[in-house]
A and B are shown apart, each in its own frame.
Chain A
Amino acid sequence: MSNKSSKGIAERLRSISVQTRHEILRMAVAIAIGLGIAVVLIVLTAKDPESALTYFVGAPFMSLSYFSHMIEVIIPLLMSGAAVCIMFSANQFNLGLEGTIYLGGLVAALSGIYLVPNLPVLGPIFSILLGGLVGFFIIAIPALLQYKFKANIVVSTLMMNYICLYVGLYFLFDVFKDPASSQHTYPIGSDAGLAVLIPGTKIHAGLFLAVAVVIFAYVLLYKTKLGLSIRTVGQNPKFAKYVGLSVSGLALVSQFIGGVIGGMTGAVQMLGLYQRFEWTSLTGYGWDGVTMAIFAHNNPKYLPFAAIFLAYFRTGAWVMSFKAGVQIDLVSVFEGVMVLFIMAEKFLSGTYRKMIFADADRKRKERNAAKGGEAA
């Protein structure tokens, strides 16, 4: 019995296509290059490279507060990653999440200050939904401009981000600012924030929502007809058109969903970690979503791995920045380099060819052996 099952595993491993195996190899090499560059930079620049490296590689396991920081970082990564996965699956380079997150956060904070300051559980849910609604309306503008007029989505969403930022800043400074402060609103109501899950940490209930959003994104994209249509449009628009799918309509739907999740991401982040609205610049979580989608190959199934991976080293770099004086900006270099190599179709293409030949050789030998066995 055990013999049979182990044989099964070996066969399954072998049956993974050469393409998948090559993708895994490419991913591993990309991560190695990224880590290698980070390590070299740390060794060259840190005063005490040994302790800096220790923090970079192991910080999340050194104390509970570092570990909880990692979980905090994971929450927005999962949500914005899911949003971008859905939009990129339809091959829409919608880069407007930054704006939805910013205004989603603002509206959720305002809702927590003025609308539902004292309503536990339902209050935060209401504020988050409101954030999602705002995200929907923000994304709807560039998405509809593309749908109706074919306006370049990359450019229009980048512009929307700035419009959101400055409109938000206007409301922050000229309408809702706490007069006693320089740049933040009144405090969010005591029951309007998201509950802390583990006392002593900042891990908040947004984690549940983040996990739910990832599951939703996976089910939507891979288990429903709508998701299949969206992916078909993304992979082969001509074919999609031929089988009667509405290409631009599905692109629109995917962006609407992405926008809603984007707004909710901002709301969750605001209600989970902040006492008042104090963002004076775009947050960067939207760009993180793009990085996440790239790491996950647009499949929400892989988002948790990508989130843990990124959050792990971000926490390491964060701890390293105040323990060993190495700037946290190192992480951007590390992630940028990995993105480049992960997405490089032709990277290691020579190895790919060799792998295909080796695979073909092995199959031929197996066939010959089988034939020989029959003959004997």
Chain B
Amino acid sequence: MSDFAATLGGIFSNPNFYFTVLSTTVPILLATLGCAIAENAGSTNMAEEGIMILAAFFGVIGAAYTGSVWIGLLVAVVVGAVMGLMIAYFALYLKVDIILVGIAVNLIGSGLSAFLMYVITGDRSATTSLHSGTLPTISIPGLSDIPFIGTIISNQSVLAWIAYLAIPVMSFLLYKTKLGLRIRSVGENPDAASSVGVSVNRTKMAALVISGILGGLAGAYLSMSYLPYFSKGMSGGRGYIALAATAMANNTPVGSFGTSLLFGFFYALSTYSSTLGIPDQLVTTLPYVATLVGLVIFAINVQRKERKMLHESGGGHSSKAQQVADASEA
């Protein structure tokens, strides 16, 4: 047992471990933020998985055929945005249940990417032959000299920086801007929001497009940073994990950071588990079990809050709609 503790201590005192944690967290974090903003608008975006894989694929193709990873990144983002629009169209205007839209998009995403990969490269498993390249990494001179922390944060991909910067940006968007207020009010009480002149569908659509863009970035990270190529099924369930991470984080950006970090941590730990002598499968199970527990705690909290609201005489109920009304008057 002391051996085990010593090995574990060795892992935890090694800055490379935390470097891995931060880089495995990136795609989950981006997708989680994407789910969170959609969820704030009252739409469960189950399609992050499909968006990610399509963006990862088309990003690589774009990069390979133009010779520029930046264009690849742009392609991935555009694919994400278009997918977001498509989800919005089917869910909001053609009235398909949004969870079924998600399932269908995931089917289409995994199928289309694998199908086109074979058509374009003649390879069934990965696009290694395309040599699409990776996005640059960033190391800030002053910061990378700091002993422990320097190793952790330097040489992270430019998309990792974007992902971590997206947390405050998303917080600002949701809590300090008019669009954010509309998104939250539409999610909380669409009738009240539309009664004060907010277009519910258009707001939800905006949220879904932003959600798609974040999914696109997550896909780009997978195929142009994390790995230098696209491989079949490379999103690996991260879209579903994102959905769970969002639910556990109560749809807040900062909470999303915490919960996706939890998944990143265990992902990273599972790569070290052979040295620990414990089965990596069981380590990999931990974040999922943690999510179940987190969901229950979250649900109990919600119930408690609802009961409290019932006891108070419903005064706080329309406050958000009132805020929207004030904002649009201003």
Contact = CB atoms under 8 A, between A and B. Distances in A.
Q: Do A and B bind each other?
A: yes
B6 interface: no
12 contacts: A159-B244, A159-B292, A163-B292, A166-B284, A169-B281, A174-B281, A287-B107, A329-B118, A333-B115, A336-B105, A336-B108, A340-B104
B293 to A, nearest CB: 10
Contact of B288 (A150, A159, A170, A327): A159
Contacts of A152: 247, 295, 299
Contact of A330 (B111, B237, B279, B291): B111
Interface in B34-69: 44, 46
A346 B292 contact: no
B299 A151 contact: yes
A347 interface: yes
Contacts of B44: 154
B305 interface: no
A54 B93 CA distance: 37
Given A327-B118, A340-B101, A344-B90, A158 B95 contact: no
A72 interface: no
A332 B237 CA distance: 17
**Binding site secondary structure of chain A:** helix
Interface residues of A, number: 45
Contacts of A162: 237, 240-241, 285, 288
A166 B96 contact: no
Contacts of A166: 281-282, 284-285, 288
Contacts of A330: 111, 115
A336 B296 contact: no
Interface in B90-140: 90, 93-97, 99-101, 103-108, 110-115, 118-119, 124
Interface in A316-338: 327, 329-337
B1 interface: no
A345 interface: yes
A150 B291 contact: no
B165 to A, nearest CB: 27
A195 to B, nearest CB: 34
B96 A340 contact: yes
A331 B240 CA distance: 22
Given A290-B100, A339-B103, 14 more contacts: A145-B292, A149-B299, A150-B303, A151-B292, A155-B244, A155-B295, A162-B285, A162-B288, A169-B281, A327-B114, A329-B110, A329-B113, A330-B115, A336-B105
Interface string A163-191: 10011011001100000000000000000
B244 A167 contact: no
B223 to A, nearest CB: 17
Interface in A326-369: 327, 329-337, 339-340, 343-347
Interface of B: 44, 46, 90, 93-97, 99-101, 103-108, 110-115, 118-119, 124, 237, 240-241, 243-244, 247, 279, 281-282, 284-285, 288-289, 291-292, 295-296, 298-300, 302-303
A151 B296 contact: yes
Contacts of B106: 336
B94 A336 contact: no
Contact of B115 (A329, A339, A346): A329
A347 B100 CA distance: 15
A160 interface: yes
Contacts, number: 140
A337 B99 CA distance: 15
B73 to A, nearest CB: 25
B303 A149 contact: yes
A246 interface: no
A29 B111 CA distance: 22
Contacts of B96: 340, 343-345
Contact of A333 (B95, B111, B284): B111
A340 B282 contact: no
A158 B240 contact: yes
Given A167-B281, A336-B108, A156 B295 contact: yes
B292 A149 contact: no
A41 interface: yes
Contacts of A337: 104, 108
A347 B281 contact: no
Nearest to A325: B118
Contact of B295 (A41, A145, A167, A335): A145
B103 A290 contact: yes
Contacts of B108: 332-333, 336-337
Contacts of B299: 145, 149-152
Contacts of A236: none
B282 A329 contact: no
Interface in A23-67: 41, 45
The 6 A-B residue pairs with the shortest CB-CB distance, nearest first, are: A332-B111, A336-B107, A336-B108, A344-B94, A345-B95, A329-B114
A45 B112 CA distance: 12
Nearest to B100: A343
A302 interface: no
A330 B114 CA distance: 8
A74 interface: no
A93 B99 contact: yes
A294 interface: yes
Interface in A101-154: 141-142, 145, 149-152, 154
Contacts of B281: 166-167, 169-170, 173-174
B243 A155 contact: yes
Contacts of A335: 107
Interface string A272-289: 000000000000000100
A329 B114 CA distance: 6
B20 to A, nearest CB: 19
Contacts of B107: 287, 291, 332-333, 335-336, 339
A336 B104 contact: yes
Contact of B97 (A41, A170, A343): A343
Contacts of B46: 154
A331 B112 CA distance: 9
